[in-house]
Structures are given as structure tokens and as C-alpha cells.
């Protein structure tokens, strides 16, 4: 989510509106900037996740955001290793472990299918592995159309490695058809930022993508 201040809450409320209309309250989540997490979580019933959490235990945590801090505000999980906030494997391992210890979801981002091997080597299965080719992020050129092989490849690799993590995808997705194509390729969901934030009508864009995620409507 690339908006700030009260606009974060406005966008989240539109997402919740769509979730209620389509009976998808557990299937649509929002990830506002960390300063807005508590505000958004207080006003919506759909899952709210963080864009980042620090690899830091309890104790001396001035300036850090820990999993337990997020949990205390009813945040359900966090994105980890987004292409705009890359982390070392050791940091990823520590964060996933901390999130799971707090009964929170871990959404670990990778740039290409081959990176899933390294994630598997951590011996800590994230709940979701999000494949996002960085060159497509924010372009409106959907990964599901431009690079379908990275979705199918990620699904195949995750299965072959014996991971129970669900594969989702992002980068360039802007409408329901992009989302539906991703689902048909094996993705269990989509990550969307600018495709929604830059839309003239947030409600219509979110609804279109949400409908696209379900083959019931396509």
C-alpha cells in the first residue's frame, strides 16, 4: 500500500467493503505503512499485515518494530524481504521464526523461483512465498501475462521441495483478468500496490481484482 495518513484508512475501508460484499473477509488483507498499522487495525475487520518487521528480540528495541509489538495491535503478520527492503537469509530466518512464535503469518518475497531453494534451506516454512520479479513492479505489465513461467516455476519448485507454503504473486497486476490468470497458473493469491493505489476508483479496482481471484465469476 503506497498511501499515507488517513488515506490508508480510507483505502482499507474500501477493501473491507469489497470483502463483505463478496464474502471474502478472510481472503482480502491490507498492508499499510507501519506508522498507520494500529489506526487501520482498529477500524477494519479484515486482516492487516505489516510491510516489514525487524529481526530483533525483546529487550533493547528502541527504534525497532518487533513481531510482539505488532501482535499487540492485532496485526496478523508481515511481509518479509520485499524487493524494496531486501534482507539476508539469516534475517529472514529470524523474522519468520519470531512471527511464528507470535502466531503471526509470514509472507516471504522472492525475486525468482531459484530463491525458493534458499528459503527451503532455512528449515522454517513461511506461510506464503510471494514471487515478484522486481523489473515488473509498478509497471502495469502483469507478471501473470509477461512472465507466467515464474509463477508455474515457483509452484513446481515449492512442491518439489516439499514446502507447505502457499505461492502467491505480485508485480504489475492491475485488474481482475491479471489476477484470474495468476490463479489459473497456480498462484493462491496476488499482491497489489500501485495497481490499486493509482486507480481513480479504489473500490471498483479492488472489487475487480477480488472477483478475478475467484473462478466462480470467470
Percent of the chain exceeding pLDDT 70 equals 97
Band the pLDDT of 215: cuts 50, 70, 90.
Answer: low
Which residues lie across from 110 on neighbouring strands?
131
pLDDT at 160 over 80: yes
Q: Which of 132, 135, 156, 200 is catalytic?
A: 132
Instruction: Read off the pLDDT of residues 78-122 as tens digits, 9 standing for 90 and up.
Output: 999 999 999 999 999 999 999 999 999 999 999 999 999 999 999
| Bridging pattern class, strands 166-170 and 49-50 | unpaired
Q: Can you tell me the distance from the alpha carbon of 94 to that of 86, in angstroms, rounded to the nearest whole number?
A: 14
pLDDT tens for 178-187 read: 999 999 999 9
Which pLDDT does position 2 carry in this prediction?
A: 59
* Catalytic-residue membership of 132: yes
The 10s digit of each residue's pLDDT in 3-14 is: 777 899 999 999
The answer on pLDDT for 136 being more than 50 is: yes
The whole-chain average pLDDT of the chain stands at 94
Domains of the chain: 6-217 (3.20.20.70)
- The DSSP annotation for the chain comes to ----THHHHHHHHHHHHHHHHTT-TTT--B---GGGHHHHHHH-SS-BEES---S--SSS-TT---HHHHHHTT--EEEES-TTS---HHHHHHHHHHHHHTT-EEEEEESSTTHHHHHHTTT---SEEEE--GGGTTSS--HHHH-HHHHHHHHHHHHHTT--PEEEEESS--SHHHHHHHHHTT-S-EE-SHHHHTSS-HHHHHHHHHHHT-GGG-
pLDDT of 66 above 70: yes
pLDDT tens, residue by residue, 18-35: 999 999 999 999 999 999
pLDDT of residue 1 exceeding 60, the answer is no
pTM recorded for the entire structure = 0.93
Task: Give the separation between CA 19 and CA 11, rounded to whole angstroms.
Answer: 12
Per annotation, catalytic residue among 14, 16, 82, 125: 82
Is 100 a residue of the active site?
no
| Chain centre to alpha carbon of residue 139 | 18
Using CA atoms, how far apart are residues 124 and 12, in angstroms rounded to an integer? 30
Whole-Å CA distances, 153 to 28, 147, 159, 177: 25, 10, 10, 20
pLDDT confidence band for 56 (50 / 70 / 90): confident
Question: Would you give the distance in Å from CA 92 to the centre of its chain?
Answer: 15
Taking only the tens place, the pLDDT of each residue in 139-157 is 889 999 999 999 999 999 9
In this prediction, residue 61 carries a pLDDT of 80
pLDDT band for 216, please (50, 70, 90 cuts): low
Amino acid at each position: 500500500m503506497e498511501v499515507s495518513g488517513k488515506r490508508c484508512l480510507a483505502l482499507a475501508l474500501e477493501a473491507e467493503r469489497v470483502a463483505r460484499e463478496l464474502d471474502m473477509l478472510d481472503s482480502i488483507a491490507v498492508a499499510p505503512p507501519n506508522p498507520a498499522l494500529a489506526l487501520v487495525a482498529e477500524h477494519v475487520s479484515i486482516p492487516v499485515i505489516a510491510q516489514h518487521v525487524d529481526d530483533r528480540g525483546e529487550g533493547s528495541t528502541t527504534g525497532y518494530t518487533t513481531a510482539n509489538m505488532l501482535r499487540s495491535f492485532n496485526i496478523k503478520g508481515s511481509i518479509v524481504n520485499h524487493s524494496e527492503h531486501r534482507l539476508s537469509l539469516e534475517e529472514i530466518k529470524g523474522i519468520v521464526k519470531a512471527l511464528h512464535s507470535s502466531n503471526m503469518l509470514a509472507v516471504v518475497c522472492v525475486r525468482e523461483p531459484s530463491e525458493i531453494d534458499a528459503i527451503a534451506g532455512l528449515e522454517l516454512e513461511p506461510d506464503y512465498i510471494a514471487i515478484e520479479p522486481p523489473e515488473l513492479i509498478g509497471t502495469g505489465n502483469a507478471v501473470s501475462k509477461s512472465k507466467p513461467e515464474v509463477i508455474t516455476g515457483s509452484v513446481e519448485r515449492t512442491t518439489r521441495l516439499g514446502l507447505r507454503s502457499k505461492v502467491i504473486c505480485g508485480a504489475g497486476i492491475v485488474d481482475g483478468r491479471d489476477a484470474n490468470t495468476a490463479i489459473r497458473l497456480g498462484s493462491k493469491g496476488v499482491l497489489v500496490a500501485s495497481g490499486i493505489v493509482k486507480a481513480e476508483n479504489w473500490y471498483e479496482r479492488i472489487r475487480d481484482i477480488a472477483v478475478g481471484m475467484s473462478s466462480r465469476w470467470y
